[in-house]
Structure 1
């Protein structure tokens, strides 16, 4: 049985409240910057009233012009506040999206492991790609618009009260009534939005099933039956979308009642109020508040909440129910929570497999990474190097054995405690829109400018920082190359307080010289584990771990060359000749082999995909 509208709203409300509590600092910053942002709304009507009464109607045009010039200053102040409110919103929304993504992925992997051999549905993919991003975008829009609506409308009502308190009786009741009417309509809208979302998932699953069975459909001459099967989902989605579109009429009615009706009421009573001492300027000021502030703000609010708000409530509710846990960032550990003693990472008797019937990726595996260790992990593609990185960092749990961080089982540590002691930098660098400083402080919000600049200098990112306009420059991820995104992510990880860094192909888009500089900097900073994609990474590390199927060998570059035929074979294809100084790294993750006779030898691979 599907949840009712009230239950759906409660789930979304509970999750939202938890996120806002978790990020109280960002919420406080958001509210603080809302004050200067609301300056134009607060002053618009009042300034117009003074300009009319004290200036133009008093035959003092320069006085009126001076009053209107104050609006320009208010607009500049409001723009400054709006710029900073967007930054504060990112401090709430981005961690929420990251945590929700981790939980959805974990739930999907767990489901796949429990049902080995059963293909995943496209509905699961839709949850990760469409629904998580939809929640993130909707959440950001709701925070901005809802906060703006409350602050701006309150400012307009206070301005109206300062000019003509009696007119609040014509303005406030219709506005409050429209909000109540809209709230009642939203309850029905929740059900319609839920039906639309379900229809979309069903359409994705049915379309994928028909496509996958295309040969069987053709062989059995079941084309019409398959078409009806898919058409039922298409019809259901179209019906749900039409029902959802009808809510637009309610949104228009809300704006008419709450915005335009008070405006008409004030115009209709203009003679009455001016005959009782209200000045012409004050009347025009009140009309300005209504037409220029209340109506557009109310319209934006109902449009956003009526569309993005419904999508947020329904999608978040479905995601939370599917993953079976609250989609919030874990709270900080209390005083009784266990804390690691040091930064040593240990794997003891670890066995891990993807699915109960799958061959183990690691079996009864032991490894210790000491403080200030420098370990390179090498091996053929698919052997489990990235899996080992996930186990070391606690993002993957072993089937058997235990992973210890500072002598404490890593699953007993709160996420915040793990984050303080180890940082994982994956190949796909995540950079969000915002300032350079905000991106670099993502893992260490308390880092000062000198800390950021020092990290930039150590990792050789000075030219990139200058091109982006310094720490205050705006970052547009789509305009950055893959190497530039990786470099920013590496600086962010270097600034993080964690003494252990795990680089999982995190430098594959950097040239060899830049990669060497990064690895040496992290090795001097603390413990470093590198999933190597160039032989030079293994040559400059203190220890090298070779993974080869269910076998593993630990040594250094010279000892492994002497003891391991597999390592000698790898270094034969994977030589320094393929990585000239200053040359760009393999942007597609494929290292070209350098032997000239490979074209004539069909039994040899011509390329090796790293990772």
Structure 2
């Protein structure tokens, strides 16, 4: 939300903004005059036995309204000077981003929708938020000036709860936006699951698969219900904010009436204070909260989609967004190999923080390598987002992607050349000492000795699969990339060599993701992700033993501790 608000504020041109502020001053006159006119009409007119004076003060409201109307007219005339440059900037960003994607060979299918629909939504909501924010400030300034004129003590009573309720209401906008996104994603998952079940209703009935179909839909339905309840709680919180900021000042003023009168506040001043609360503060807060719950959310969510799609510098030059850190966020990701194929990954949510060590386990063909390809930016999700350091992984340029992550696949790539050439091309400036430390860390000393040292010639056809994997592991260990993904990269090594290599990468620093070939990799990880084809469960070893039947099946039975103190695994009987 902060990014969207900063973008909106930075897009405000200074001169039209100053003109808008200037013409807002006469627009504040009616708000500042309402309570004062009522107070003087009561004290100096009706209660003093001079009804003509009271009516004259009330007639002054008409003149004040005329002054305010002039200011309002000029304000709306200048609104276009603020909004249209903002719209032009959005159009430029969308078009530039689409052209950049096209040049890179990745056509942006959503550019037309962003240009024709989303830009207009953002433009309209942006204008609405400017109007509401200006109106809020105008009313607040007018009320404070008026109250200071008739009874400054009333300001101390009514302003703190009003400002507190307003601040909390604004603070809920980010929470509400997150809840709306979650609700939309949950709705999409429910619709997708229900569509698959409905499409296969005949086969499900014929084969007695009603229970499976129910279970398939039950998860997304429960998630959608939870998302809607969470969104409803945000609505209830806004109601409490309005009670605090809109009604509490009125109740405080009424309750303090006798105390105020005893200290010299006149009946007219008290009535004027009530007028300021009811005519100024109360509707101002109601308007702001209504705008935040409607236009504000549409602005944040829609502008966020546009800003996620592209980034350009102020001169219009396309920028390849640089990742901030290497945190991995998998957000509602679905991926299928072909438009009519069943999803390999379905609605997956996962967060891997910097420095984490995650093992991914599951049956063969369940989508573990597909997940590795998505995280590394080699595959683009059909739905959802995969972010590396806050940037879509599939959109990172090759040089930045290589500096962010290193992927070691099951079939290691080795080319004909020296050992040094093979293991240092991700870090060309690596010294011999660094190379030897990497060789020692992953346990490749024996291989290096057999080949004849770092300057020996490597012939790939004379290496076993395990030896090729060891060279690839050394190469990846030397890489400066902070995120390492081992996609069954040790499957041709024996368990002892596998343990040594994984422990080396765990101690290397940065983040480690291991697509596990053996369940023993799960014991060395900080967290474990279990994929079963319909759902994903993530947690620590002890948690998963209780929560995941599949994990228990994969785990088998434990034996006693090994001589080195580590637990061993034997296959389940």
User: What TM-score results when the alignment is normalised by the length of structure 2?
Assistant: 0.48
Larger Rg: 2
- TM-score, L = length of structure 1: 0.45
